[in-house]
């Protein structure tokens, strides 16, 4: 989206990639906020931009990718609770209620936000729609980039 030419290095996880970044073996990387935050706060690495649609409350001085000049760039590391297809509706609704109750607790919210995350929640239907939209968005990226499974 930015038109820059970079080489992707396939690490077997964020830790070895971060080690190489800190050692100066690679000039930049995309990293999860929770993993990068301690090194950013310690001044060991510099955050250039966040990939979310809005700035993170724990790094308010760091612009979004869109603010940094890459319009339309938005990427999230998201987690969710899913169940097998065919799970009875009443079980899905109960799990959804319980998860939303947990996410509304100040302790849970503060833990998520303090590590650079955003608190989600909502309906099972909305989460399903989000998963479908992410699948469509990243499917286009995979096809346009010619990415093939290895």
Q: Which residue, 43, 77, 111, sits at the end of a domain?
A: 77
143 shares a domain with 96: yes
Segment 20-24 long-range contacts (CB within 8 Å, at least 24 positions apart): 21/45
148 shares a domain with 89: yes
Is the model's pLDDT at 7 over the cut of 90? no
Is the model's pLDDT at 9 over the cut of 80? yes
Count of the separate structural domains present in the chain: 2
Q: Which residue, 77, 108, 140, sits at the end of a domain?
A: 77
4 shares a domain with 42: yes
52 shares a domain with 13: yes
In angstroms, the CA 134 to CA 121 distance is 16
62 shares a domain with 5: yes
**Span 24-51, pLDDT tens digits:** 999 999 998 888 999 999 999 999 999 9
Q: Which residue, 47, 77, 107, sits at the end of a domain?
A: 77
In angstroms, the CA 78 to CA 116 distance is 12
27 shares a domain with 73: yes
Domain that residue 116 falls in: 78-150
**Span 77-135, pLDDT tens digits:** 889 999 999 999 999 999 999 999 999 999 999 999 998 888 999 999 999 999 999 99
84 shares a domain with 72: no
Give yes or no for a contact between 124 and 92, defined as CB atoms under 8 angstroms apart. yes
């Amino acid at each position: 989206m930015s038109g820059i030419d970079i080489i992707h290095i396939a690490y077997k996880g964020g830790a070895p990639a971060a080690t190489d970044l800190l050692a100066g073996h690679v000039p930049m990387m995309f990293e999860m906020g929770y993993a990068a935050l301690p090194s950013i706060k310690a001044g060991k690495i510099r955050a250039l931009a966040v990939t979310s649609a809005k700035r993170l409350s724990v790094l308010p001085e760091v612009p979004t990718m869109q603010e940094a000049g890459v319009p339309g760039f938005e990427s999230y590391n998201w987690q969710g609770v899913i169940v097998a297809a065919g799970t009875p509706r009443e079980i899905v609704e109960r799990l959804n209620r319980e998860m939303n109750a947990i996410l509304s607790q100040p302790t849970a919210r503060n833990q998520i936000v303090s590590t650079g995350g955003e608190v989600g929640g909502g309906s099972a239907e909305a989460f399903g729609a989000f998963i479908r939209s992410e699948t469509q968005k990243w499917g286009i990226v995979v096809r346009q980039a010619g990415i093939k499974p290895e």
